[in-house]
Structure 1
Amino acid sequence: MDLIEALSDRFAFQQSLYRETVDALAPPLAAAAEILAQTVLSGHRLWIVSGPGTHYLAAHFTERLWYGLERERPPFAAVHLPAATTPPHGQPLDVLAQPGDCVMILLGHEPSETIRAAMRTALEAGSPLIVIGHDPDEHIWSQLRGGDVPVALPELPPAQQDELLLFLLNALTETWEQLLFGELV
């Protein structure tokens, strides 16, 4: 197999993956975009918590929310708390996440202690949760409430999950921007 053929196979795999997952992933992503838009328009905060292996994707997502929009948007607070800064007992989230003032976005390949601690904090504060990741034992999904949004990634090798997660975060940012400016109703 030559390099062009190998690269062509990668492109074909990604195309196939997006086609196969669109029906499962587009509805929760749309719900997540609506929650993010409502949160920002009401002056509340976004907490983005990354589990091990997703720090750089969460940082990219936060940067896109702050600076990656094509137009000026209302000011808002979005903070990324990587796994390294979020100890298992939940602080600083226990102090920062006040009831009803934020939405928590959890990103992870697999449930980690960081994700579990952030989830406990959000549940106790009554904050809506958007969880984007893979939960093979459904430990996280089983704890979500009615207004929470699970975006369940299929089981894939970590590098391919990263590619899909990056695509989903970019799509979420673009959809959120369209909602903010009334382009999608």
Structure 2
Amino acid sequence: MDLIARINQHCADSATQILQHGEELATPLALAAEKLVESLLQDGKILLCADAHGQALASYAASRLLTRLQQARPGLAALHLSGDAGLLAALQATDSLDTAFARQIEVLGHQQDALLLLCSDQPSPALLQAIAAAHERGLMVIALVGPEGAALAAQLQEQDVLLEVHCADPARVHELYLLALHCLCDALDCLLLGVEA
């Protein structure tokens, strides 16, 4: 096995997917950034949640929003809705783990807030219930979905934004998600700080 050739192939595959998805994602990412800025300027916050494979990316995105991506700026109100052990134990005893995100949205979400959701696999009941809870509370939803996200996309409403990644390779999907999140953070900085693009 030629590991160097294999690694080079991974890099080439990643670059190809990035180039193919760049134009597809640019317009909805710009729209998502504009909607998030509207939310933040109304003292809203960004709630983030993800499926099991996207939890680390959602946490990372929240940390970048709270701190910064590249430019110094005041922190943005962002909260990663996690499934920490204490919360999961309480939900398991009183309700269902499928309500982990929905319960947090019901308690913490306000009409001026936005839900940023990452789903790379088949949407779990927890994510579908999160969208329902967000809509009940009047939150706008931005959904970053992979090739199996049709059921989740079907739940979105007119004010929501769908960011679709059509790629069968899970590694490439997560690389595209990371790029999309970086683009979103950068777009927020440009809009809020008046930086020329």
- What is the TM-score with the length of structure 1 in the denominator? 0.89
Distance 1:97 1:13, change over 3 A: same
Partner of 2:131: 119
Measured after TM superposition, the shift of residue 101 of structure 1 is 2.4
Name stretches of at least 5 consecutive residues in structure 2 with no aligned partner: 89-96
Distance 1:15 1:7, change over 3 A: same
2:181 matched to 1:169?
Answer: yes
One-letter amino acid matched to 1:114:
A
2:62 matched to 1:62?
Answer: yes
Higher helix share: 2
8 Å CA contact 1:55, 1:83 repeated in 2: no
Partner of 1:151: 163
Partner of 2:24: 24
2:95 matched to 1:88?
Answer: no
Secondary structure in 2 matching 1:107:
strand
8 Å CA contact 1:47, 1:78 repeated in 2: yes
Counterpart CA distance in 2 for 1:121 and 1:27 is: 27
2:20 matched to 1:9?
Answer: no
CA displacement, residues 51-106 of structure 1 (integer Å, 9 cap, x when unaligned): 111110111111111112344434442110135557423212212213x2200111
Counterpart CA distance in 1 for 2:120 and 2:64 is: 21
Counterpart CA distance in 1 for 2:140 and 2:64 is: 21
CA displacement, residues 160-179 of structure 1 (integer Å, 9 cap, x when unaligned): 21111111111111111111
How high is the sequence identity, in percent, across the aligned residues? 28
What is the root-mean-square deviation of aligned Cα atoms in Å?
A: 2.0
Partner of 2:35: 35
Measured after TM superposition, the shift of residue 20 of structure 1 is 1.1
What are the residue-to-residue correspondences of 1:68-107 with 2, within 5 Å? Answer: 68-83=68-83, 85=87, 87-89=97-99, 90-98=102-110, 100-107=111-118
Partner of 1:50: 50
8 Å CA contact 1:50, 1:83 repeated in 2: no
Secondary structure in 2 matching 1:139:
helix
One-letter amino acid matched to 1:107:
L
Distance 1:75 1:14, change over 3 A: closer
Name stretches of at least 5 consecutive residues in structure 1 with no aligned partner: none
Distance 1:71 1:12, change over 3 A: closer
Partner of 2:172: 160
Counterpart CA distance in 2 for 1:24 and 1:12 is: 19
2:120 matched to 1:109?
Answer: yes
One-letter amino acid matched to 1:35:
K
Aligned pairs, how many? 184
CA displacement, residues 124-147 of structure 1 (integer Å, 9 cap, x when unaligned): 112110000125362121221111
